[in-house]
Chains A and B, each alone.
Chain A
Amino acid sequence: MARTTTTRRGLLSGLANGLMTLPAAVVYTGLTVVPVGYAVYYSFTQYNGIPSQAPTWVGWENYARIIADPIGDLRPAAWVTLVIAVVGAVLVNGAALGIAMLLRRTTAFNTFARAVMFYPHVLSALIVGFLWQAILGPQGAVNNLLENAGRSTWPFLSDPDWALVTLIGVIVWAQFGVQLVLYLAGLQAVSPELQEAARLDGANGPQVFRHVTWPALAPTVTVTIVTSILSLLKVYDVVLGLTNGGPGDATQTWAYEILAVSFANNKVGLACAQAVLLVVVAGILSFTIIALRRRAEEGAEAVG
C-alpha cells in the first residue's frame, strides 16, 4: 500500500514537473527550433523570401554553389572571417587577461577602470564602426592631426591590408570588455592560499602565474575562447559601420555575405545555406576547442 502511494506520488510529481517545463519548451520550440528548421529547409530551395512566390526545391545546389564559388567572393569572405576569428580571439583574450591581472584587486580606481574598460561593449556595434570611421577615416581625426603636423596620412581604411588590421583592432576594442569581466571573476576564484604558498616556496611573480594562476584559470580560458570565437565568427555590424566591406571586398566577412549580399539580393535560399554552414563551422570549432582544453581543465581541478 505504501509502495503504491509512493509510486503515485512520484508519477504526479513527474507530471507536475513536465507541465511546468511545457511553457518554456513551447517558447523555445516556437522561437528557435521552428525558425531554424525553416532555415535548414530553405537552404535546400531557391527562394526569394516573398511569400507569394513559393520556394523551389533544388537539393544541394546552394551548398554546391558555395563550395564551387563561381565568382570567387565566398572564399575571400571565409578567409577574412577566419583571420578575424583567430587573430581577434588571441588579441581579445590577451588584452582581457592582461588588464584583468592589473585590475584584480578591488580598489576605488580599479572599480572605475573596470567600468571604463567595459564601456565600449555597451555601445551599439554599428555606432562603434561609425565612431572609428570618424577617427581613422582618410579625413578623420587622426589623419587631420598628422596632416596638421606636416606628416603624411595613414591609410587606415583605404588600403586593403590596413583596413583588415584596423577592423580587427576596432573589434578587439569593442569586445574585450566581456572577456575582462569573465577573467576578473575567474581570478577571484584562484586560491590565495596556494599563491601565498608558492611565494613562500620562493616562486617569483611570473612563476606563480605560470604554475598556480594560469592552471586554475583553465575553465575560464575555455569559456572566454569559445565565446569570443563565436562572437567573432558572426561579426557584421562593425563591418557595416566602419568599412562597409571595402575597400573592394577586403573586409567582407561571412556574416556580411549572408546579410548584406545574399539577403539584400533576395537570395534567401543561398543565404540560409551560408548560415547553416556558419553554424556547422562554429560547432566544430567550439567542440574542438573544448576537447583540446580538457587536459588543461583537469589540471585546474587538481589545483582547485
Chain B
Amino acid sequence: MSTTFLRRARGAVVLGMTPVLALALAACGSEAGSGEAAGDGSVRMLVNITDNLTQAKWEELVKPFEDESGIDVKIEGPSGQSVAESFPSLLAAGTAPDVIESIVPGPDTAPEVLDLTEYDWASGTPMADLYSTDGTINVVGVGMQAQSLMYYNADLFAEAGITEPPTTWDELDDALAALAAQDVATPIAFASDWATGVQVQEIWHPQQNVATPGWQQSVADGSSTLGDQFQPVFEHVADWIEAGYTTADDVATDSGTQEANFIAGDVGIYPMGSWFSTTLAASPPDFEVGVFAPPVDDAAAAPGPMGATLAFPYMVWKGTANPDGATALVEYLTTDEAAIAAQAEMDSFSREGLEPSSNEYAGMVQELSDAAPSYVVPGNQTVGDYALPVAGFNPKFTELVQGLWQGRSPADVAGDLTAWYEAEKLG
C-alpha cells in the first residue's frame, strides 16, 4: 500500500465521515411521503407477532371476514422492534396501516386515530369506558387481560409449609423466607428488559390503587408524585434483594428463560400477566401451579383492584383510504363471537359471556379476575382519562428500578423517577 494511496484513503475517510455519520441524521431528516392509497379496497392491519400470535393465526382469524366482505386483509408484522415503535415511523413515512393492533393511543398518536364513538357497537366493547378520553372512544378490544398475577409452584409451597397463598405483604415476606429456607433456587423471579418494570408494577397495582384510587390522575394534578407512588414497592423489592430472594442475574435474564426456569421448577413465585397461562398450557409443568393476586397491606382489603389491560386493542388510522372497510374489520374482530373465541385461543383473556377456556391455568386466572373488586389501568399502559402526560414511562421505570439490584436505595430511585417525570411532562 503506497503512501500516496494511504493519504488519499485518509482523505476519503475524512470526507466520508459526514455521510457515514449522516446516516443517523438522515434517519431524522427523511421527508414524509404521501399516504399509500388503498384504492384496491384492501385493508392493511399492523399486528403484534409473537410465539402465540403468529402470522398464520392472524390470517386464519380474518379469513371469514375476507370471504364474507370481499375485502382483502393484509396482515403486517412490525417493521421495528414492536408495533409501538413501528406505528409512529409508518406515520412519518406516510405509509401508516389502516388498522393497528396491540397498542393504545398515546399523546402523539391520539390525533391520528379515528374517533369510533359514533359507532354503536364500539361502546359495547369491553373496557370501552375505562380506555376512553373524555367520553371519546378511539380504541376498542375484545376482553381484559389481567396483569396483577403471581404464579406459584404449589409443590414448593407445600414443601415450605405454606398452606395458603399470601394475601398481605407481611405474609408474602414470610412465604419468601420459607421458600428460601427450603433452598429454592429463586424464591421470586424477575426478568430483564421490559419485564422488570412491568413485573414491579404488576405486584404493586392492588395496594397502589387501594391507597390512591386513580393514582395517575393524582400524579397528573400534582397531588402526588411518581416517586411517592412507587417508593413503598421499591422498599419491598430492595428487602428481597438484600435477603437474596432475587439477584442481579435475574434482571439480566430474559423473560423467556425465566418462564422456562419456572416451568423447570426452579422458581417459587413468578409475577406475570395472564398471557403466561397460554405458555403454561403449551408446556405444562410436572408440578401443580397456582395463581394468587398480589398482596395488600391490610388483609381486610384483599383482594385489591386488578391491574388489567385491554386484550387485542384495535385502532383505525384517521388517514385510511378505506374507512368503511377498516371499521368493518374492527367491528368483526371485536363483536363476532367466532372471531372473539378464535382470539381467546390465540392469547387468553377474560370476557363476560365467553365460554370457559379449556386451559386450566386460564381458568384460575379467570377466577381471580372475577373475584377482583375492580379493574384498573396499569402505569405501563396509561391511556385515556388515566394517561400520564409523558412518553416512555415503562422503559424509564425499568431502567431506574434495575438500579435496586445494583445497590441503589429505594429513596434515590424514587427521587429519580419523580425528577424524570417533572422534566418529561414539560416536553
The judgment on whether A and B are partners is yes
Nearest-CB distance from B244 to chain A (Å)? 14
Query: Are B249 and A48 interface neighbours, CB within 8 A?
Result: no
Fill in one digit per residue for A30-64: 1 if any B CB lies within 8 Å of its CB, else 0.
01101111111011001011111100000000000
Knowing A71-B419, A248-B402, the reply to whether A51 touches B32 (Cβ < 8 A) is yes
Nearest-CB distance from A257 to chain B (Å)? 11
8 Å CB contacts to B: which residues of A194-234?
219-220, 222-223, 226-227, 230, 233-234
A69-B403 Cα distance, complex, nearest whole Å:
19
A163's nearest neighbour on chain B, judged by CB, is B252
Fill in one digit per residue for A265-287: 1 if any B CB lies within 8 Å of its CB, else 0.
11110011001101100110011
B408's nearest neighbour on chain A, judged by CB, is A248
**A263 at interface (Cβ–Cβ under 8 A)?**
yes
Nearest-CB distance from B5 to chain A (Å)? 8
A153's nearest neighbour on chain B, judged by CB, is B249
Nearest-CB distance from B194 to chain A (Å)? 9
Most buried by A among B2, B257, B319, B423: B423
**B88 at interface (Cβ–Cβ under 8 A)?**
yes
A304 contact set on B, CB distance < 8 A: 2-3
Query: Are A35 and B26 interface neighbours, CB within 8 A?
Result: yes
B416 contact set on A, CB distance < 8 A: 71-72
A258 contact set on B, CB distance < 8 A: 24
Q: Which of A112-120, A168-176, A183-191 lies at the binding interface?
A: A183-191
Query: Are B25 and A261 interface neighbours, CB within 8 A?
Result: no
Q: Which of B8-16, B271-279, B287-295, B336-344 lies at the binding interface?
A: B8-16
Query: Are A247 and B405 interface neighbours, CB within 8 A?
Result: yes
**A146 at interface (Cβ–Cβ under 8 A)?**
no
Knowing A39-B26, A138-B253, A158-B248, the reply to whether A227 touches B13 (Cβ < 8 A) is yes
Q: Which single member of A52, A159, A261 contacts B112 (CB below 8 Å)?
A: A52
B177 contact set on A, CB distance < 8 A: none
**A255 at interface (Cβ–Cβ under 8 A)?**
yes
Chief secondary structure at chain B's binding surface:
helix
Nearest-CB distance from B416 to chain A (Å)? 7
Query: Are B111 and A138 interface neighbours, CB within 8 A?
Result: no
Query: Are A266 and B13 interface neighbours, CB within 8 A?
Result: no
**A137 at interface (Cβ–Cβ under 8 A)?**
yes
A79-B91 Cα distance, complex, nearest whole Å:
34
B6 contact set on A, CB distance < 8 A: 186, 189, 219-220, 222-223
* Category for how many chain A residues contact B: 35 or more
Nearest-CB distance from A26 to chain B (Å)? 15
Query: Are A35 and B25 interface neighbours, CB within 8 A?
Result: yes
A49 contact set on B, CB distance < 8 A: 28, 88-89, 91-92
A243-B251 Cα distance, complex, nearest whole Å:
11
Q: Which of B38-46, B59-67, B391-399 lies at the binding interface?
A: B391-399
Query: Are A155 and B249 interface neighbours, CB within 8 A?
Result: yes
B402 contact set on A, CB distance < 8 A: 246-248
B30's nearest neighbour on chain A, judged by CB, is A35
A250-B405 Cα distance, complex, nearest whole Å:
12
Query: Are B252 and A246 interface neighbours, CB within 8 A?
Result: yes
A188's nearest neighbour on chain B, judged by CB, is B1
A159's nearest neighbour on chain B, judged by CB, is B248
A159-B403 Cα distance, complex, nearest whole Å:
11
8 Å CB contacts to A: which residues of B50-71?
none
Q: Which single member of A32, A52, A219 contacts B19 (CB below 8 Å)?
A: A32
Query: Are A249 and B399 interface neighbours, CB within 8 A?
Result: yes
Fill in one digit per residue for B397-424: 1 if any A CB lies within 8 Å of its CB, else 0.
0011011011000000000100110011
Knowing A188-B1, A223-B6, A226-B10, the reply to whether A50 touches B24 (Cβ < 8 A) is no
Query: Are A36 and B29 interface neighbours, CB within 8 A?
Result: yes
A282 contact set on B, CB distance < 8 A: 17, 21
Chain A residues within 8 Å of B, Cβ to Cβ: 31-32, 34-40, 42-43, 46, 48-53, 70-72, 137-139, 153, 155, 157-160, 163, 185-186, 188-189, 219-220, 222-223, 226-227, 230, 233-234, 243-250, 252, 255, 258-259, 261, 263-268, 271-272, 275-276, 278-279, 282-283, 286-287, 290, 297, 300-301, 304
Interface CB pairs A-B, < 8 A, 8 = A52-B319, A71-B424, A139-B261, A153-B249, A219-B9, A246-B399, A248-B406, A265-B391
Q: Which 4 A-B pairs have the closest CB atoms?
A: A219-B6, A38-B29, A35-B29, A138-B249
